[in-house]
Structures are given as structure tokens and as C-alpha cells.
Structure 1
Amino acid sequence: MHSSEPMPSLDLISDAELVAASLAGDRVAFSRIVERYQRLLCSLAYSSTGQLSQSEDLAQEAFLEAWRQLGSLREPEKLRSWLCGILRHKVGRLRRTDGKEPVRQAGTLEDAGEVVSAEMPVADQAMQQEEQAILWSALERVPALYREPLVLYYREHRSVEHVADALDLTEDTVKQRLARGRHILQEQVLAFVEGALVRSTPGNMFTVGVLAALPAFPDPVETVGIGTAAAHGSMLAKTTGIAALVASLSGVASAVMALRSNLDQSRTPRERRAVVKATGWIFFGALGFLVAWYLLRAGAFRWWDQRVGFAVGAQALLLVTVVIWPVALMRTMRYMRRLRSAERRAHPELFQDARDQVGSTAGQYKSRFQLLGVPLVHIRFSTPDEGERPVFGWLAAGDRAYGLLFAWGGYAVAPVSVGAISVGVLTVGSLSIGFISLGTVAVGAFALGCVSVGVKAYAWLSALGWITAQSGGFAVAWWSALAPVALAPHANDAVARGYLDDPTGGPSRVIIFIVISLLTLIPVAYYARAVRRRMGQKVKS
């Protein structure tokens, strides 16, 4: 049995002590060995193979071999050189087996794909295949004698002392080899290589992967199921991305049907032109914001060293959108009401039909049945005139709709609301604000959308969360975040994955939100159909 007392700082424990504890079956001690030397072994393997995934596989195999053969290590204080020997043996065997040089194993620029699978570790998500090919095409021109210290230098926090210690060289020798290696590299690719090597450094998930594959000693210490959490987290991430996209598309579909309804409600050429212009302004304005977020995301990937600035810019743009969007929509709706009244005065002949009279039964429906003095259903099908009040009922629909249960409209407020701007408990819309918020821009305790802000925020492009944030682009949170560009105390680490993951309910919950987003289109489609049936007619010239 190993002690339950917490292990002291990694820097205070010698290799010999870690070896002794590992031989006693202490996996935590062996994890410290992996943490201490994973960067060294991965760097040496990469310097020989030129492939990130293959280098990490070789390093993992070396650690697994070390675990099995640890009892044969006669001088534990020489652990580092022993591990390097195991790795070099595996690299040599790989070369003999494949009969290929490392340069031939590297992919060509033409074969480089777009972006690696989102199921790979987050470090690999940020490294495109094309970037890896360019990186190796530069490094392959450096002889191995100079390449090893060059790779180690940028992966060991730019420390000459660490490189000299790892390779058993003097610091002067390391400096000479670094200078020669830098000289061989072309100046135009040097900065790129440095940044790419930093981003390819193995992190916590490498250690977790080694520990998950370790065979058991007699009476071993049980490990935490972080690997399983990571797998579930990957599935949840993909499902969340799909849900965010569906919620965004639901908002677009709702806007298209709203445009058709507004055109059916128009009675004069001027009204029709105003509807098209206003809808286009709002639609393309929203599209412009989304394009801006996408460009910020692309910029962060292109200029990785400036990713924090791009992430901050994305969140600032989000806050500006949340303010500007509702103001612009409310002003547009007010203008349309004033235009209807002005056109009714200027062209009374175009409003002689009974259904076009203010308060006509064709223009709106209000149920006779009331509950607590409020109509069960109140729906407006015609464009309101200036001064007309919003519709109000248990179920409400119109340009401005207030419902005690459900509301749909350009501006909708209800426990369950759907609209261009929706406010409530469960909200779906272009801009949705609620406890559970789904939409193009989502704000809420649980927010899911193309862009989102909330206590827990999930997004396609950018997420700003108080507790957690998860996104395919930017994720900023006070506690944990998962994203290609993540800013949080726990960003893209095992803690973030474990906290964001809910193996039993996470994916199912998100799937439910996908279904909700799709179901909200049913009342929207019904309303558009009812408007066309009641109010649709050709505009008189």
C-alpha cells in the first residue's frame, strides 16, 4: 500500500525516489516520471521522425516499455539516459522495419489537409496538417546533430541548460549547435517553426494516455477515469457544435418566414420596398457580425501569438452586438408601424378591404375563452398601425408578442419564446435572452448558439462563460474552457474536460435542444401560412 500523504513538489523528488515508488506499484509516482521526461522523449522522437503523432506514439511506447522493465534499471539515478536509450532503440527499430528515412515519412505540402479531426487532443486541433508539413520541410534541412538541440530548445522553454543536461553536452556546445541550426534554417520560416514547436508540446493528456495504457502491477493503485471523460467530452463537443449550428439555422429560417409574412401584410409598393430593405439590412447586418467573428477566429489561427487579442476582440464584438441588435430591430419595427399609418392616410383606396381595417377580425384573432382575464390565444396577422398595443395572451404571436406561456414574433417575451429577439425562460431566436437560450446569439444561464454568453456557454464560433465555455473557435471563462483558443484557469486540460463532460446527460441534453430548435419552426411556419391565407394579396400599382 502506498502512503495517502500528498506527494511533494515534483522538483523536490529525485529520479531514484520516483523509481522506488513506481516499483512499489505507485502509478502516481510513475506519472511524475512521465511529466518530467515526456517533453524530452517526444522532442527526440519528433527530431527523428518528423511526425507529431508518430513521435508521441513512440514516446508513449517508450514509457510503457520502461514501466514493464523498470525492475531491470540498476542505477535509478540514470533514469533519464535509460529512457532516452529505450526511445532511440524504438526509433532505430522503426527505421529498420519501414526501411525509410524520416524525411520520406513527412507528408508533402500538396497532401496536407485542412484541419485535423476534432477527436484528437486539443493541442493537435490547433496544429493543421499543412502547418506540420511546412514545419518538417524546414527542419529536415537541418542535420540531426543540430536538429535535436534545436527541437529540444524550443520545447524546453528556451533553456540551454535543460538541453545540455538532456543531451549530456556542455552549454557551450549546445550554443554552438543552436547557432549552426538557426543559420541553416531559412530566416523567413524561423519564427513559424518556433511557434509551431511550442504549440506541439505534449500536455497533460499525454500523461493521461500513458497511464491509461499501463499494465497493472500486483495490487496497483487505481487511476481516475480521465481518459473516459475525455472520450465523452469529445462526443459532447461534436454534439454541441451541431446543436449550435441547428439553433443558428433555426433563427435564419424563422427570419425568412417572417419576411414572407411581412410581404403578405404589405399593401403599398412603398411598404413592400421598406420590408425588403429592412429585412435585408437586419439579415446582412447579422451576417456581417458572424463574418467578423469568423475572421477573428481565422486570424487567431493564422497569427497564433496574437490569439489572446483576437479572443478579447471577439468578446467585445459580442457585447456590442447584444446592445446594437435589439435597438436596431425595435427602431425598425417602430418605423414600419409609422409607415403603415402614413400609407393608410396617403392611399386610403388600398386599404378599403374589410380585412385591412384597424381591428378587423381577419387582421387578428383573440380567443373568447379567457383565463384570469387574459385571452388564451391572441394573434395579430396584419401589420399594426402606429399606436397599436402589442398582442398579449397565454399564447401570443405578432410583431410584438407577450405571452404568459408562449410567444412568437419580431420581439417576443414569454416563458417559452421564439423570435428575432426572444426573452424568457426557454428562448429561441436570432438574439435570445433567457435561462435556457438557443439562437444565433444566445445569452442565458445555459446559452447555446453560433455565439453565446452565459453562466455555461456553448457556441460554434465564440463562447463567453462565467463557469464554463466551449466552442469551435474562442472560449473564455472564469473557470474552465474548451476550444482551439481557450482562456480560463483550466483551459483545454483534464479538469476542463472532466468538468464540462456529463457522460449520462450531456449529449442527450444537447440533442433535446436540437429537437427544440427544430420544433420551434412549427408555430413559425403555421403563422406564416395563416398570414398568407388571411392577408395575402397582390400589391396594387
Structure 2
Amino acid sequence: MFKTAVALSDAISDATDAALVVASLGNDHDAFAEIVRRYQGLLCSIAYAAVGDIKHSEDIAQEAFVEAWKKLDTLRDPERLKAWLCGILRFKVSRHRRKQASQPEQGAEALSERNDRACQASMVEQGAIEQQQHALLWQTLENMPHNYREPLVLFYREHRSVEQLADDLELSQDAVKQRLSRGRKLLQQAMINFVEDTLSKSGPGAAFTIAVMTVVSTISPPVKAAALSAGAAKTGSLFKWTSIVAVIGSFSGLISAYFGLRAGLAQSRTERERRNVIRFTVLFLLFAGLYVGGMFLLRFIAHSSSASAGLFITASQVFVGVFIVSYMMLLRAMLVGMPRLRAQERLTNPAAFCDHPTGSEREYKSRLRVLGIPLVHFRLGMPEANDGPVVAWIAGGDIAYGVLFAWGAVAVAPISVGIVAVGVASVGVIGIGILATGTVAIGVIGFGASAIAYKAFASLSAIGWQSAISGGFSAAKEAAIGQFAIAQQVNNEQAAAIANLAALNQYYVWALAAIAVLVIVPAAWHSNKVRQRMGRRQAS
């Protein structure tokens, strides 16, 4: 598994520009992230040579990459990707200059806004270069003509060779050599070492890529495919399987709910029971849908609001808390209500239960026991009023306790899968464990739509003690990465290192695949066994 993941990473990094464009048009974010990594240094350096400010140059470059994602389908010659990106960047630079020229009082902002902006800039640039050094560097460079300044910045900041500069700037090598020579002479000799050292430290890294891809993840891919050759299209298809695995992992809960609905209908003996099964299934899906929809709405509001990130991060955790409480209440109502309804139906409609399986026919229990505990025990019938929890080495039922593995509405085991799952490794709508995954994951390492953990990784909101990474709201003590983030280190290289971002990128596809298997396979097996034993006539 490890070798396969590494091989895929190598295939992406070795792919041609055309192959990456095709894969990106197929909504492959990994391929587009490689485009960003490949050309972020070039675009940031060109922008810096034009505007003379590290933060503004990276903002402009990020806007250029986001614009490229939106308009990727308009690129007719993918082999010209680099020139096309540079064209978008230069247009953004031109618009930035016009905007500055039309706002002569841009420095007259409110004091509180200025302090907030300074604080954010400090966190982003922390550990790279001090503000006074930026000013001194630009004082040295700004008096140079642009045609000399641009190749000089690229040469020292990106460590480009003359041949690479000629290719990047679409100039002859002789022209590049002449401009570099003239540019060096224009620099004050006393500042040369300082400029070289400062430029080498200011280049964009993993945090820049993270920032771009965080925004791109919220934007739909281009509608049309670019006009590519069959060979390029074939190469690009190598990357699409990762997106397929991600979709399966993300929707595994919905697939499991479908199998659960089939099993519940097969177990039902009366119309009231069937309606009850459908009602609880719809309510569980509705609550999950409202939670996810509410989080996306909150993120949309946060994007269009000037309020502080802390306010929206707090609001996101209120959403998480309400979701947990509502799901727990709904689960309790189901576990108490379904046996009660079954008891009532036995009294009021006894004819429906004449051929109802009992005893060993409504559950599977292996004869083999280990330390007095059945090796396998799965309950296949509707819970009855006198049913206790299922206990086995491998257990499955409404409430299941497993020595090794448990699956059910409430599952407790070293490896557990359920609506509420508790264990060393847990997969659930609410997963609690050392390694917890689910819609809400609570544990030492949490991975889900929302995560609350020592190390938290999530798509919507992450709250971590050491680190938190999410595509929306992130808060942690030490390091946070996200669109709205609070921590000592935020959206920078130090945050990426503390959170082990490289390891996450390498293994998240395999984690999604494992979640899908653990959730879907037991649900499908249980559903088929129920339909075989309980009869198919009630499932229609």
C-alpha cells in the first residue's frame, strides 16, 4: 500500500503539463496542486518584481491560480500552460496597479483594521523576513528598470539558470545574460549579499499551495474539457482514480444507510414498523444533511463578512455540538422506540408474527468460543424488548460489544463501526477513539467532516490541541491550517511541519478507502443475511 501511494505521488510529480491539465479538468485536485507547486515560485517572483511586497505578490499569485482553475477549460494548448499562467498573473498585476492608483488614500484605514491586517501578515511571514528588511530590499530594487529587475529577482530568488530564465521569460539566452549583467551593475555593491540572502528566504512553499488548494476545493471544476490529444487524455486518466476513492469514502455513510434501510424493511412485520424504519432513516439523513448544509452556509457567510475568524470558528463548534446532541437523542429514541413498537404490534397484530423467525433463526452465532465468548455473533432480527447487547469477539447488532470488532447502532470494540462507535480505531457518524473517523471524530487523531482531537484533520471544521487542518474552520494551540484559522502558527511552513501535512497528503486516500470498506462491507453483509433469513416480501 505504501509503495503504491509513493508511486502515485511520483507519477504526478513526473507528469507533463498537458497530463496535469487533463487530470485537473477531471476534478483531480492532486494534479492541480502539482501545477501550483510547479509554478508558484515563478508567479510569486514575477508578481514581487512588479509590486515589491511579499504578501501582496503572493496574494496576487494565489488569485492567478484560482482564476486558472476556474478558466482551465479555456486553455486550448496545454503545452503552453506556463505562458498561460504568466499571462493571467500579469493581468492581475496590472489590475492591482490600477486599483492602487485609484485609491490614493488606501493607507487611511481604521486603526483596528490596520492592526488586524498587521497581525495576520506577521503570522504568515513569521520566521522568513522582518518588515524593515522588506522595505530596505525594495528600496534597493525599485529604482531599477523593470526589464532588469524581473530576471534578477527570478535568478536569485528561484535559483534559475540562464537557460531556465530564457525559457520562463521567452527571451534569448544572450538577452537574459545582458539584462542580468546590467542589473547587477545597477545594484549597490554593499547590498548584493543582503538581497541574495533575503530573496532566497522569501519564496513560497507548502503553505502557499495549501492556501490556493483550500480556495480551489470550494470551486467547481471547469465545465468544458480542453481540446487535447488522445495520448494526453490517456495519461491524465491515471490520476482520476484518487477522486473516485474519495467520493466512495465520503459517501460510505449514505451507502451504509441504504443497506440499513433494506435490512430494517426486511425485519419489519407490519406497516407501522415499516413506516417507523423509514422515519428514523430519513431523520438520521436529514440531521446529517442539515449539519453539513449549515456548515457550508456558515463558511459562505464567513467569506462575505468582515467579522473575526474566532467568531465563526466558535459558531462552527456550536453546530458540531448541536449535531452531536441531536444524533444522540435520535439514536436513543430509535433504540428505545423500536423494541417498544414491536411489543405493541405483537399484541395488536399477532397474525403478522405467525411465521416470524425466532431464536437461532433471527441471529447468527458461531459455535466456536474463545475464552467462553462466541467468535462471531450477529443479530439479524428487529430488536425485541428483552434483547440485551450482542457480545462476541466479532459482534454485530443494535448494541454490540466486540473483543476485536463491533458493528451496529452503538458499537464498542478495539475496531468499531456504527452510528456511535467507540474504540481504539473507530468509524462512525460519531467516532470516539485513539484513531477516530466519522462525520464527527473525537480522539487523539481525528479524521472526518468535523474533528475534535489532539491532531484534528477535517473537511469542514477541526479543533485540535496540537494541530488542526480543515478546508473551513481550524483552531489549535500550536498549528492551524484552514480558510479561517487560529493558532500560534497559522497557514505557514511551521504549521505544515507541526501538523505533518506531508504524511496526511500521502495517506488520506488510503484512509478513505479503509473507511469505505469498514462501513459498507458489514452493512451489505448484514442486509443480505437479513433478507435471506427474514424473507424478501417486506423489503419491497
Superposition TM-score, scaled by structure 1 size: 0.62
Task: Give yes or no for contact 1:409–1:419 (8 Å, CA) kept in 2.
Answer: yes
Identity of aligned residues (%): 30
SS state at 1:368 partner: coil
Aligned-residue offset at 1:394: 0.5
- What CA distance in whole angstroms lies between the structure 2 residues aligned with 1:114 and 1:196? 28
1:306 and 1:299, CA in 2 relative to 1: closer, same or farther beyond 3 A?
Answer: farther
1:457 and 1:492, CA in 2 relative to 1: closer, same or farther beyond 3 A?
Answer: same
Task: Give yes or no for contact 2:462–2:468 (8 Å, CA) kept in 1.
Answer: yes
In structure 2, what is the equivalent of residue 180 of structure 1?
none
Aligned-residue offset at 1:373: 0.6
SS state at 2:505 partner: helix
In structure 1, what is the equivalent of residue 534 of structure 2?
535
In structure 2, what is the equivalent of residue 305 of structure 1?
307
Q: Deviations over 1:145-192 (max 9, x none)?
A: x635x3455599888xxxxxxxxxxxxxxxxxxxxxxxxxxxxxxxxx
Q: 2:253 aligns with which of 251, 254, 257?
A: 251
Aligned-residue offset at 1:374: 0.3
Aligned-residue offset at 1:300: 0.5
One-letter amino acid of the counterpart of residue 452, structure 2: V
- What CA distance in whole angstroms lies between the structure 2 residues aligned with 1:506 and 1:226? 23
Equivalences for residues 159-170 of structure 1 within 5 A: none
In structure 2, what is the equivalent of residue 351 of structure 1?
353
- What CA distance in whole angstroms lies between the structure 2 residues aligned with 1:57 and 1:499? 27
Equivalences for residues 4-403 of structure 1 within 5 A: 57-58=45-46, 60-61=48-49, 144=101, 147-148=103-104, 150-154=105-109, 203-204=124-125, 213=158, 229-230=206-207, 247-353=249-355, 356-359=356-359, 361-403=360-402
- What CA distance in whole angstroms lies between the structure 2 residues aligned with 1:376 and 1:202? 55
Q: Are 2:432 and 1:433 aligned? A: yes
Task: Give yes or no for contact 1:392–1:401 (8 Å, CA) kept in 2.
Answer: yes
Larger radius of gyration: 1
Aligned-residue offset at 1:234: 7.6
In structure 1, what is the equivalent of residue 36 of structure 2?
none
CA-atom RMSD in angstroms? 4.6
1:257 and 1:452, CA in 2 relative to 1: closer, same or farther beyond 3 A?
Answer: same
Aligned-residue offset at 1:490: 1.3
One-letter amino acid of the counterpart of residue 461, structure 1: L
1:399 and 1:202, CA in 2 relative to 1: closer, same or farther beyond 3 A?
Answer: closer
In structure 2, what is the equivalent of residue 516 of structure 1?
514
1:380 and 1:214, CA in 2 relative to 1: closer, same or farther beyond 3 A?
Answer: same
Q: Deviations over 1:316-337 (max 9, x none)?
A: 2212322332232022121001
1:227 and 1:59, CA in 2 relative to 1: closer, same or farther beyond 3 A?
Answer: closer
- What CA distance in whole angstroms lies between the structure 1 residues aligned with 2:395 and 2:205? 46
1:212 and 1:378, CA in 2 relative to 1: closer, same or farther beyond 3 A?
Answer: farther
Task: Give yes or no for contact 1:475–1:483 (8 Å, CA) kept in 2.
Answer: yes
Aligned-residue offset at 1:199: 8.3
Q: Are 2:478 and 1:479 aligned? A: yes
- Stretches of structure 2 that go unaligned for 5 or more consecutive residues are 1-40, 54-62, 73-87, 130-152, 162-191, 219-242
- What CA distance in whole angstroms lies between the structure 2 residues aligned with 1:539 and 1:513? 36
- What CA distance in whole angstroms lies between the structure 2 residues aligned with 1:517 and 1:478? 28
Task: Give yes or no for contact 1:229–1:498 (8 Å, CA) kept in 2.
Answer: no
1:237 and 1:372, CA in 2 relative to 1: closer, same or farther beyond 3 A?
Answer: farther
Task: Give yes or no for contact 1:459–1:472 (8 Å, CA) kept in 2.
Answer: yes
SS state at 2:441 partner: strand
- What CA distance in whole angstroms lies between the structure 2 residues aligned with 1:226 and 1:455? 31
Aligned-residue offset at 1:422: 1.1
1:390 and 1:300, CA in 2 relative to 1: closer, same or farther beyond 3 A?
Answer: same
In structure 2, what is the equivalent of residue 410 of structure 1?
409
Task: Give yes or no for contact 1:226–1:494 (8 Å, CA) kept in 2.
Answer: no
SS state at 1:305 partner: coil
1:540 and 1:228, CA in 2 relative to 1: closer, same or farther beyond 3 A?
Answer: closer
- What CA distance in whole angstroms lies between the structure 1 residues aligned with 2:539 and 2:251? 34
Superposition TM-score, scaled by structure 2 size: 0.62
One-letter amino acid of the counterpart of residue 48, structure 2: Q
In structure 2, what is the equivalent of residue 122 of structure 1?
none
Task: Give yes or no for contact 2:415–2:424 (8 Å, CA) kept in 1.
Answer: yes
1:449 and 1:281, CA in 2 relative to 1: closer, same or farther beyond 3 A?
Answer: same
Task: Give yes or no for contact 1:426–1:434 (8 Å, CA) kept in 2.
Answer: yes
Task: Give yes or no for contact 1:263–1:272 (8 Å, CA) kept in 2.
Answer: yes
- Stretches of structure 1 that go unaligned for 5 or more consecutive residues are 1-52, 64-82, 85-105, 117-128, 160-193
SS state at 1:382 partner: coil
In structure 2, what is the equivalent of residue 507 of structure 1?
505
SS state at 2:361 partner: coil
- What CA distance in whole angstroms lies between the structure 1 residues aligned with 2:48 and 2:111? 18
Aligned-residue offset at 1:55: 9.6
1:114 and 1:308, CA in 2 relative to 1: closer, same or farther beyond 3 A?
Answer: farther
SS state at 2:269 partner: coil
- What CA distance in whole angstroms lies between the structure 2 residues aligned with 1:463 and 1:203? 20
Task: Give yes or no for contact 1:267–1:351 (8 Å, CA) kept in 2.
Answer: yes
Q: Deviations over 1:360-415 (max 9, x none)?
A: x2200111110011000001110021121011100111111111111111111111
Task: Give yes or no for contact 2:42–2:158 (8 Å, CA) kept in 1.
Answer: no
In structure 2, what is the equivalent of residue 492 of structure 1?
491
- What CA distance in whole angstroms lies between the structure 2 residues aligned with 1:276 and 1:494? 49
SS state at 2:424 partner: strand
One-letter amino acid of the counterpart of residue 405, structure 1: L
Q: Deviations over 1:484-523 (max 9, x none)?
A: 11111211122112222354x4333323312211211112
One-letter amino acid of the counterpart of residue 303, structure 2: F
1:212 and 1:383, CA in 2 relative to 1: closer, same or farther beyond 3 A?
Answer: farther
Aligned-residue offset at 1:229: 4.7
1:451 and 1:246, CA in 2 relative to 1: closer, same or farther beyond 3 A?
Answer: farther
One-letter amino acid of the counterpart of residue 283, structure 1: L
One-letter amino acid of the counterpart of residue 516, structure 1: A
One-letter amino acid of the counterpart of residue 308, structure 1: G
- What CA distance in whole angstroms lies between the structure 1 residues aligned with 2:436 and 2:215? 19
- What CA distance in whole angstroms lies between the structure 2 residues aligned with 1:449 and 1:245? 13
In structure 2, what is the equivalent of residue 92 of structure 1?
none
Task: Give yes or no for contact 2:158–2:203 (8 Å, CA) kept in 1.
Answer: no
Aligned-residue offset at 1:61: 2.9
Aligned-residue offset at 1:314: 0.4
Q: Deviations over 1:9-31 (max 9, x none)?
A: xxxxxxxxxxxxxxxxxxxxxxx
